Amino acid sequence: MRNFSRIFVSVAALLALAAPAFAGLTDDPVYDKQCAKCHGKTADGRHFGGPSLRTTSLSLDEIKTTIANGKGRMPKFADKLTPEQINALSAEIKELSGGQPSH
């Protein structure tokens, strides 16, 4: 029983160290409030909502422009989000989709 307790404590400590405080797009409160209702909590897209953000081939500038100005059924967010929030979301989307977030 003592060994089990030691193992449990060790594993719990490692998990606490390994889990980042902020894991990216889907943990971003701005994403949760403004984007998740259409793109899903995990950014995988929704059937009658927005597409997956995990597979976008858009450039960082195209993502920023789409968020700011809208596109198709997506509304514009330039009047709802600060430029810093748009930049952060864009970088997080680019990173999530496997691209480099920096420009």
**Three-state secondary structure of the chain:** CHHHHHHHHHHHHHHHHHCCCCCCHHHCHHHHHHCHHHHCCCCCCCCCCCCCCCCCCCCHHHHHHHHHHCECCECCCCCCCCHHHHHHHHHHHHHHCCCCCCC
Tens digit of pLDDT for each residue in 40-67? 999 999 988 999 999 999 999 999 999 9
* pLDDT exceeds cutoff 60 at 15: no
Tens digit of pLDDT for each residue in 17-37? 444 444 689 999 999 999 999
Within 8 A by CB and 6+ apart from 22, the residues are 28
The separation between CA 53 and the C-alpha centre of its own chain, rounded to angstroms, equals 8
Q: Is the whole model's pTM more than 0.75, yes or no?
A: no
